[in-house]
Structure 1
Amino acid sequence: MDINQKDFIETVHVRGVQISLLASGDGTEIIYHKLNPGIRWALEPTEGWTALEYLYILSGELKYPAGNGFKVLKAGDSFFRNPVAEHFIFQSYQTTEFLYITSQPIFHHYSKSTHYIMDLAVSIEQKDGYTVDHCSRINRLSMLMGEELGFNAKQLLVLNKASFLHDVGKVKVPLSILQKPTKLTAEEWEIMKKHTTYGRELLESTQVPSLVEAAPIVEQHHERYDGKGYPYGLKKDEISVEASIIAVVDSYDAMTTDRVYQKGRSKEEALEEIFRCRGTMYNPDIVDIFLSLQNKIN
């Protein structure tokens, strides 16, 4: 099938993804997707949602967890559920195009909510002095860790959301604090620390199931294994595995990224620091897995 731009009724571009409505009628929608390499896309059950959902691969490949392994959908393959009763998370390993057909309308809600959340994440990257790839880097490494730990599709979906949106609560932190080039005062630091709780509240307010489930992970990602983190001073197994993953990955990225006020460390220096803080700041099991994957870490 040859899909041309003139065929699209409406198109939305979100980082790494093109979503285009091809046709709509009697509640049914046909939506074209184009995913860049490494992008993940998910189907999840929703209360009251009874639609048939169907994928047809036009080009490329989508890989998804199934049983104890993975299945791969290639050009000409299809996938459907009626309705979706479990979580599925698909990943493109090359540029991939597919048609998504649903018997209940979803495009406008889907594109609006996706844009809203992505815009928030990108705005925080820019305001906080990171490059615009910060959230994507945290997401990529977190998902690598989740896959190594054997997470199921639902766990991967929630980790995917939480890792990309881990700092979304900074949208409520004043710019005078967020962009301050010198050390924060004690009072300013207390305000900064609230970004984890702001993030939880923001995700919960969306009422999107996967974002609501990601909310406590976002709130916990600055907790420490020794109980000296924030906002609640949780320790050891009181901290979710997902938050422990993001804590390690986020610290590594912060150390290796050039900021306005400091030059990033080398990969080797950052890994040494992560290891030094094993069992104090970071869950030792998560550190061990992270270090075992260092050849896959940029």
Structure 2
Amino acid sequence: MIDLLVVGDANPDVLVSGAPETPPAGQAETLVDTGTLALGGSAAIVAHGAAVLGLSTALAAMVGRDAAGDFVLDTLSTAGVDISGCVRHESLPTALTVCLNRPDGDRAILTAPGCLPAFGPEQVPAVAARHVHAASYFLQPRLAAGLAGLLEGFRRAGASTSLDTNDDPAGEWRLSPGLLAACDLVLPNEAEAVALASATGDRPGPAGGLHAALAALAARGPVPVVKRGGEGALALFEGALVGARGPLVTPVDTVGAGDGFDAGFLAGWLTSRDIADALAWGCACGALSTRAAGGTAAQPTAGEAESVVAQVQVTRARAG
């Protein structure tokens, strides 16, 4: 039995820093500060980070039969991820993302989905895993349509489950019926949490929106764990609001930090089932992942993360 099966997207990221907010057209050549080719896709970054932390990890994903697909699979395999569950589409290309990073840490993300919409639940292997994590729900409509049943099947086999939807390009945020109930954990960022809660019919207002969103998501079944960037993370667990905040870092690049958090959180959760410990590991791994460009270049080993975990401040308060 493996520790973790990750299901979802995998693609190269092209990271560009120092681009103007609106690059000029007219075939004008614009010089930028840096350009980096890195492993991308939320699921792939989570799998890579979990493997670096020492979890036995497999990825189920789809790439094309092209150089981009070779790059993705080689990078994952080198990190120790089991890629036997990755399939290659015969004609559609591997997805590709371009991130235009701004000095304030924000970024514009351009994604060509390639073969992602062709990936479906029937292509996910029925491996024995302690935990199954799904990512990038809105980029993979065939997978999304059957994801609730897929996760329920893994739960019947004894696995715990989690979901990080990531962004919805359509801005609708509608999840398939029963999906949240099939998840033990849901891991959005703050904006995603509020959007997902609003789409369920519970509409958090501007004041107290995060707490209302946590309650709305928890009412559907999962433990909501919300990532808040430099503010750390907040979870609603057994009637308590549990927060965690790591030491301040000066990031080189925040691409993939949320996925690094997911990898660390899941590693902590699978080790202890203690929400405070899992949050501390998530905050430590998310922060450390920002030390270099791209989502995987600076992902920490367990030994590297452990010293930062000890510095994470955890708070508890009764919800409501």
Larger proportion of helix? 1
Q: TM-score, normalising length from structure 1?
A: 0.27
TM-score w.r.t. length of structure 2: 0.25
Larger Rg: 1 or 2?
1
